[in-house]
Amino acid sequence: MDKSKKYKIQGIMLASILFIADQIVKFIMIGPLALQSRGQIHIIPFFNLTWAENRGVSMGFLSADNEAQRWMLVGATAFIALIVFIWMMREKMRGDILALSLILGGALGNIVDRARYGYVVDYADLHFGDFRPFYIFNLADACITIGVLILLARAFLMREDNPKETAEIIAGNNNGADVRRENEHG
């Protein structure tokens, strides 16, 4: 089995594990901890479990206030998750596959919530006194954010410009890029 295929299988496994972990944690918040009825549980001075129903996407944007908007948002986010999956299956570099698997696992966790409940279950409340550097979030949100940050870091910091490779890509021959990627990340 070539390394690229192995990385993709690992990516699918990681996305699946993250999805399952996200759903288990949310089940615990809803069931055994009854966070929805308790509202908030103080854990340590700078971290609480706080119930929040996010009807929008990141930070509450694009709020789905009715059933039609809810299902449109489910469809749109499912389509984006499909694009991420296709990208992951076409990718050859291990670091990018890792980042995409984080994004995919998180996206699937939030899509299932939105389809099941009409909102995404958020609970992680990090704060320093009254200062909250983040909105209340969940494991899926953290996975998506970390995955995006890895992709951005790799795009800006880890890729080298290669004039010969660029010329080959423009000419329609990207074999140089494939060989370099295999050598760097093999």
Known catalytic residue: 141? yes
Contact 123, 130 (CB under 8 A): no
Structure confidence by residue, pLDDT tens digits, 41-69? 999 999 999 999 998 876 666 677 788 98
| Identified catalytic residue from 22, 113, 125, 141 | 141
- Burial (0-12, 13-18, 19+ Cβ within 10 Å), 131: exposed
| Identified catalytic residue from 22, 96, 122, 125 | 122
Rounded to whole angstroms, the Cα distance separating 17 from 124 reads 19
Which tokens is 166 given? 């660029």
Residue 174 three-state SS? coil
Q: Which residues contact 143 (CB under 8 A, 6 or more apart)?
A: 18, 22, 102, 103, 105, 106, 109
Known catalytic residue: 122? yes
Structure confidence by residue, pLDDT tens digits, 133-171? 989 999 999 999 999 999 999 999 886 566 566 566 667
